[in-house]
Structure 1
């Protein structure tokens, strides 16, 4: 045993000696350690990607909020189960979101090359427990993304900038820097455009000096440029349709065709120490699919041979103003924008998502009526096939809209701030309800068909809306904010009298009085930026 131990120890000593000799014969130079370097060229938070001249900033926020008597992020109870006030509605809706942003910048002989992207990881309920609504979600109710262990990823802006050009999903040149957020927390302040989550586009910005710039761009209109184009021949006559197919809170069906042209947008902006002034414009093509469609707007085997109305160009204009450094306090400001559109209602009735249609129910004092109803249908245009008003088939009649919105933002001290915000807007179908050659007359002919109405009934699809609210924020430490927001929405509809209607279930077929409606919401939020 002693001999074995001696052999093992001797072998080990020999190997150590040999390895030492090899190390002495073949010296190895250690690599220099690359430390992260701060990049001060583009503001706080940037650092150099090791081994490159590209600066990167990782950021984002974590946000938790709850809305009472509304949908997530302060969505008013203006449609669906919330608008009906039925027992499928949720009394509150909550969302938890983690937003991650990646911003890279590289200095080149052509200027800074920038890439930016934001992904949102979130989980929420959807403001309703109605099985019909959940089943409509892609893949059915089991994939509604609000199940245990569920959640989903959404994409906001993803774009690249180079030599004055912007490519990708970015804020439209038509929008203001504050989009739909002059001072509000909620994502539903209408009265102007809201491209905060970005739209696929290409843009070019020229800097003229002294804070003056101009931008021109081409936007994909599919999501952010369109509301609906109503084919009023659908569910408007008994030919091929049952009377029960006539909708209670709408007329016709959306008959937009495919995307044939981008929205052409641009702005001139003055951005200086006193504030900002901007004028924007947009051109939007309104193009239909076919004259003959199924109920709901789906095509059939007669669609392609039925013809279609000629395309029409519409558009919108906007003016915006921001005044900074108000005498009311450091950091206080006032923002306002005003928009007019023709055939581009999304520029006025806009949220961070789709444009809403309004269907709100309330109490009534009318004898024999079950409840009251107020509704407003949002559209870019209407057409009624078969009427010789601009061709062998009904031509497109564009819908007008205008809106104004703004906010006053006040800082009480470094920790507390309050914003007062509001908006007002209008949607107008041109012409007269009794003139079948006008947009209003065609809408009413479609809506009135087959309905039993009161003696004092009158049809008018025009509507106004108003919003007002206040949000107060507390920031106990930097980048951590707690806030509470209360808001009200008012729908001023123009129908009079009453009619027997069959709204979406669970509402019964009954007499409903046409009446203005309103609703309020409360939203509470906690947010940590990083």
Structure 2
């Protein structure tokens, strides 16, 4: 019996030992996989970052465009050089291919939504980059938290639909304030319910908002002279433009209403204007007293008009005193830095978009800055023929004037040989006006793919009478010492584009 018990116990122990060994060899159960979950709090395309309560959306677009008789994205040739002179070596067309990528993150907190947004553009423009090279820009980089906005965002001066205008161009269409590449700012927005909000903002004016001032007691860049400026790197600086230094941020405020029928927007800005400054130890030279300019704007948008589902009307008007770039916004002056020059056959139009004019550098004879007055009104109407086809028509008028003091200073400089590229025998004034009318038709054959074609007419109206005689061969394609009649100029431009969003 004892033998039988021993055998049974030994066998049982063996089974247990084998069972324990097998159990030790089995793999440990893996943790549950954290699958990416859809975040429905902020609209389509958002997902939770695994392991967090932060939602993220990644998207972008590829945009390919060709412009005819214009710079990229329908920019008229009004900046001088071979294109502005209409010479044989001008560009008959220009091309641009662009990839845009953005990242948008949002997190619910006890103080509201914490948001970060960044976009990066990878760009190739014929004439700017080399064969295989490219250009990278960051248009918007900001953080929003508890009503505050920190970083590079659309100016609070601009209406809600500033980036949703129904055209292809943008670059070459002057429609008031239009900072399509964002402005660094510290802003606070208070919301009052029912779509009503108000914002106060400090915004970095350089280089987007500073048109500069001209000192007419020294040489100033004439038509077709090469501007020594890289847009976005320095202010609008060329020979004779006497502003330098970033002293005070622009103070901007707005009041907005956003509802299902559309939106209303009122905005205002204060902008400091100054000339060139010298050290206190320099007893022979001084500077004009700095002054403040301002700008005001009003805009509205009407949605789903009786003319059709999706139809809209957008209108904006802006006035600026000593703050010209609020009425002449955007990146239109990439090459000219606020200077315009167009020649056609035997005629020429030229002028400047500046915050003001003064004369004299000595402390005894220095004058105060005569500020410019600039204004713009623009309208955009878009009609959907079908969900896939839509047509927009748009128009704009922009004007800048320098008043009796500013005009007399500019005329005296131009007629006394201070222009670097020639001399004038001019009467009248240096007011400039820009008339622009355009239309775009777009086709969306499938979701997120749009093919568009645009035509635009531009008229540059100058108010000088008389002639301009070039100094040597200063105008490309013209014989030395050519004499041209000062006269208005017309442009006809067009652009075709294909846009794929994702």
Global fold match (TM > 0.5): yes
CA–CA distance in 2 between the matches of 1:397 and 1:161? 39
> 1:270 aligned to 2:257?
yes
Q: Within 5 A, what are the aligned runs for 1:179-218?
A: 179=162, 182-187=165-170, 188-218=172-202
Does residue 445 (structure 1) correspond to residue 417 (structure 2)? The answer is no
Aligned mate of 1:260, from 233, 247, 260: 247
| Uncovered stretches (5+) of structure 1, i.e. residues with no partner | 1-17, 127-143, 237-245, 293-301, 364-370, 432-437
Q: Deviations over 1:240-281 (max 9, x none)?
A: xxxxxx734689611112111000001101111221111100
Question: What is the RMSD computed on CA atoms of the aligned residues?
Answer: 2.4
Q: Does 1:400 align with 2:373?
A: yes
* SS of aligned partner of 1:468: strand
State the partner residue of 1:309: 288
SS of aligned partner of 2:138? strand
**Equivalent-residue separation in structure 1 for 2:305 and 2:391 (angstroms):** 14
Partner of 1:282: 269
2: CA distance between counterparts of 1:304 and 1:196? Answer: 44
Q: Which stretch has the larger CA shift, 214-223 or 87-96?
A: 87-96
Instruction: Tell me the CA shift for residue 291 of structure 1.
Output: 7.8
Higher deviation after alignment, 345-354 or 209-218: 345-354
Q: Select the residue among 332, 336, 342 that pairs with 1:360.
A: 342
> CA contact under 8 A between 1:500 and 1:510: conserved in structure 2?
yes
Shift of residue 506 of structure 1? 4.7
Partner of 1:416: 389
CA distance, structure 2, for counterparts of residue 334 and residue 386 of structure 1: 49
> In structure 2, what is the equivalent of residue 373 of structure 1?
348
Give the 5 Å matches for 1:221-370: 221-235=205-219, 247-248=222-223, 253-290=240-277, 306-352=285-331, 354=333, 356-363=338-345
Contact 1:249–1:375 under 8 Å retained in 2: no
| TM superposition shift of 1:462 | 0.7
The structure-2 alpha-carbon separation of the partners of 1:252 and 1:291, relative to structure 1 and needing over 3 Å to count, comes to: farther
- For 1:138, the equivalent position in structure 2 comes to none
Instruction: Report the alpha carbon displacement of residue 95 of structure 1 after superposing the two structures with TM.
Output: 0.7
Q: 1:288 offset after TM fit, Å?
A: 1.4
Does the CA-based 8 Å contact 1:345-1:380 persist in structure 2? yes
TM-score (normalizing by structure 2): 0.87
Please tell me whether the aligned partners of residues 221 and 262 of structure 1 are also in contact (alpha carbons under 8 angstroms).
yes
- Residue equivalent to 2:488: 516
User: Does the 8 A contact of 1:252 with 1:446 survive in 2?
Assistant: no
Judging changes above 3 Å, is the alpha-carbon distance between structure 1 residues 94 and 409 closer, same or farther for their aligned structure 2 residues?
A: same
Deviation at 1:335, TM superposition (A): 0.5
Could you say if the C-alpha distance between residues 153 and 353 of structure 1 is closer, same or farther in structure 2, counting changes exceeding 3 Å? farther
1:501 offset after TM fit, Å? 2.3
How far apart in 1 are the matches of 2:331 and 2:117? Answer: 19
CA–CA distance in structure 2, aligned partners of residues 526 and 356 of structure 1: 31
User: Does the alignment pair 1:160 with 2:143?
Assistant: yes
Partner residue of 1:39?
39
Whether contact under 8 Å (1:191, 1:339) holds in the other structure is no
Q: Deviations over 1:427-486 (max 9, x none)?
A: 10111xxxxxx11111111111137656xx414111111000000000000110000000
Per the alignment, residue 526 of structure 1 pairs with 498
Q: How far does residue 89 in structure 1 lie from its aligned partner after superposition? A: 2.1
Structure 2 residue runs of 5 or longer lacking an equivalent are: 1-17, 226-237
Take 1:352 and 1:32, find their aligned partners in 2: how far apart are those partners?
A: 52
- Displacement of 1:180 in angstroms is 6.7
**SS of structure 2 residue aligned to 1:524:** strand
Q: Is the 8 A contact 1:182 1:336 kept in 2?
A: no
- What does residue 131 of structure 1 align with? none
Other-structure match for 2:10: none
User: Does the residue aligned with 2:465 lie in a helix, a strand or coil?
Assistant: coil
1-side partners of 2:95 and 2:434: how far apart?
Answer: 26
Query: Which residue of the partner structure matches residue 471 of structure 1?
Result: 440
Q: Name the CA shift for 1:206/1:275 in 2 (closer, same or farther; >3 Å).
A: same
Once the two structures are TM-superposed, the CA of residue 499 in structure 1 deviates from its matched residue by: 3.1
- Residue 151 of structure 1: CA displacement? 0.6
What is the alpha-carbon distance in structure 1 between the residues aligned to residue 217 and residue 21 of structure 2? Answer: 95
Structure 2 residue 177 is the aligned partner of structure 1 residue 176: no
8 Å contact from structure 1 (residues 360, 374) kept in 2: yes
Length-normalised TM-score, structure 1: 0.82
| Structure 1 pair 430–180 and aligned structure 2 pair: CA distance change class (3 A) | farther
1:239 match? none
1-structure distance, mates of 2:282, 2:344: 39
CA positional deviation for 1:356: 4.4
- 1:404 to partner: Cα distance: 0.4
